[in-house]
Structure 1
């Protein structure tokens, strides 16, 4: 019995961490969209809204049957955000890396890893 409770608490920790990290990156992009001199304002706003929408869908009980698909969509969305940063963001400018940008990318990498952990835990629960 305690083994099941221990597994469930680890699963809940992963879910809460996914929630917090996705909210963090969503609000980071919305923050960047609010900057007055930001050229990519529209794209940052769309990115932040996209994270919030996918996150809402991921945790919405009515969409529980689609959680696996939504998880992969959130993972792909996060990976796309990381890749686009290399083309549109700080590294493409050739100057020093912005610590804010790097911290958001670290959050996104950890989010990707946790989504994979969540997938594996869900797969083992079904088996």
Structure 2
């Protein structure tokens, strides 16, 4: 039996919005490196795996949540280690920190259990 939500809650909507924002920023940085584009696509892929009701993903929702949080944290830490200190860089990190906190809150409340097969 598949249990699905008809509505996206506020926290889920926030996660999607923050993911789209950080992905758009990274993808728009076509120069100087393709790594930014790949990072943005990685965020979009993880969001799709986290939210889409595809059985392969819904059965592994907890692992995807950890991968999503880990990917976000690694992105932040790599910027701290080697990133350019610019206004856009700091703004993007604020978005990513908010994303990480939102993902953790969603994970802790276990709401993704409502989006997976029982």
2:22 is aligned with 1:28: no
2:77 is aligned with 1:88: no
Q: Which runs of 5+ in 2 are unaligned?
A: 1-6
Please list the CA deviations of residues 17-58 of structure 1 after superposition, one character each: whole Å capped at 9, or x if unmatched.
0011011111110011x23xx1xx121111011111111111
Residue 86 of structure 2: aligned partner: 98
Instruction: Pick from 62, 65, 69 the counterpart of residue 68 of structure 1.
Output: 62
Shift of 1:87: 2.1
Shift of 1:88: 2.1
Supply the distance in 1 between the matched residues of 2:108 and 2:70 (Cα, whole angstroms): 16
- Normalising by the residue count of structure 2, what TM-score does the alignment of the two structures yield? 0.81
Q: Whose helix proportion is higher, 1 or 2? A: 1
Number of matched residues?
105
Residue 50 of structure 1: aligned partner: 42
2:10 is aligned with 1:16: no
Supply the distance in 2 between the matched residues of 1:13 and 1:45 (Cα, whole angstroms): 28
Cα RMSD of the aligned pairs, angstroms, is 1.9
Instruction: Pick from 53, 77, 85 the counterpart of residue 71 of structure 2.
Output: 77
User: Radius of gyration: which is bigger?
Assistant: 1
- Normalising by the residue count of structure 1, what TM-score does the alignment of the two structures yield? 0.76
Supply the distance in 1 between the matched residues of 2:35 and 2:19 (Cα, whole angstroms): 17
Higher RCO (CA-CA < 8 Å; seq separation 6+): 2
Residue 119 of structure 1: aligned partner: 107
